[in-house]
Amino acid sequence: MSAPLITFRKLDKWYGAQQVLQEVNLSLHPGQCILLAGENGSGKTTLLKILAGLETPTRAEVEYADTTQPWKTAVHHYRREVIYLHQTPYLFSGTVASNVAYGLRFTGLSQEQQQEALAHALAWANLTEQAKRPVYTLSGGVRQRVAFIRAWVLSPKILLLDEPIANMDDASRKQTRDLLGRMKSEGMSIVITSHDAQPFETLADMCFQLENNQLRPCALHSTARESV
């Protein structure tokens, strides 16, 4: 296995007198998908937001770029390489194309390069024919795909997904898993939270269960693993 992109150690989170996460250790590798399972309220979303740099842990050490630093120091360096997507991703008013193109404005690319990147992203996700559709007309599954590609076009190293297929029909779930498989095959590190592990067992390389504030390895029960 290749060296980790980032490693979190001794991660604790307290809300007042209530401890939510205790001594969590987790390494994220390129081209690897990690599934975080656990009951609702077990701390999955809290952990994901800390990994994304959106919430502050009570304590944590981060190994990044060959140095070990406190989380508050490291987060300023690694946060630009991480994208976090909520269970119900926010899309701007406008079209599919305008949403996918949004982040490209801040990349330093020329207008021509932005248009080329946009066209490539839409084609990659099979969304070219829907490029001019207003986002409010899209199904939940297509909206999620738009959010994924809006993230993918910015080339993050780590993609964090909170319950990404909740409330999707079977067809949308399959499209989403296929898209995530392609992202993984291109070297992206993906972390998925879900209270139901089964839909992701052919995609995930490792599974962890959050239980009693601690992160423990759990088994992936599928016998046939997907090659991605």
6-218 folds as: Rossmann fold (3.40.50)
The domain ranges of the chain are 6-218
**Whether 26 contacts 215, CB under 8 Å:** yes
pLDDT in tens, 107-153: 888 999 999 999 999 999 889 999 999 999 998 888 888 998 999 99
**Whether 135 contacts 121, CB under 8 Å:** no
pLDDT in tens, 172-209: 888 888 889 999 999 999 999 987 778 888 899 999 99
Q: How far apart are the first and last CA of the chain?
A: 15
Pairing between β-strand 18-28 and β-strand 33-37 as defined by DSSP bridges: unpaired
Which pTM was predicted?
0.89
> Smallest Cα–Cα separation from 194: which of 25, 38, 31, 17?
38
Residue 158: in which H helix or E strand, if any? strand 158-162
SS percent in the chain: helix, strand, coil, step 5: 35, 30, 35
